[in-house]
Structure 1
Amino acid sequence: MAVFSFLFGSMIGLACALTGWLACDMSLLAAFGLHLSVSMVVGTALVVAAVHADDSTGHEIKA
């Protein structure tokens, strides 16, 4: 699950970086930094959300 979370975060980071670079006139280095920060934050947030969705027995917690 963690691998897919970071891959999804990387795709979102790429979209943000390309938008910033092409549409908002960011430098290439700033767009790369934006890609890294967004991909790490989104990936980590998804991993934390997946970890907290399970209890200690491995069953999903009901809402």
Structure 2
Amino acid sequence: MCLVCIAFASWVLKTANPQVGDAWKAVLLANVSALSAIQYLRKYVRKEAAAAEEKLNHSASAS
């Protein structure tokens, strides 16, 4: 999902026509997509780190 949002944001910026007055909409859409991807990635990393820490604590207390 994260890579899809980043790819979409890149595509929007590449295909946007800067001479049109509505170019700000494409930039806004690209920025929102990129921020959503970053937020998703941060949540995923935190969740994975918490799971790894819990697994480590569980294996240490089992020994």
- TM-score normalised by the shorter chain: which range applies? 0.5 to 0.7
Partner of 1:16: 12
Give % identity.
8
1:17 to 1:55, Cα distance in 2 relative to 1, 3 A: same
Distance 1:58 1:17 in 2: 41
Kindly state the Cα deviation for residue 14 of structure 1 after the two structures are TM-superposed.
Answer: 2.2
User: Normalized against structure 1, the TM-score is what?
Assistant: 0.53
Alignment of 1:1-63 (within 5 A): 11-12=6-7, 13-19=9-15, 21=16, 27-55=22-50, 57=53
Unpaired segments of 5 or more residues in structure 1? Answer: none
Amino acid at match of 2:29: L
User: Normalized against structure 2, the TM-score is what?
Assistant: 0.53
- Coordinate RMSD, CA, aligned: 3.5
Which one has the largest radius of gyration?
A: 2
Unpaired segments of 5 or more residues in structure 2? Answer: 57-63
Q: Which has the higher helix share?
A: 2
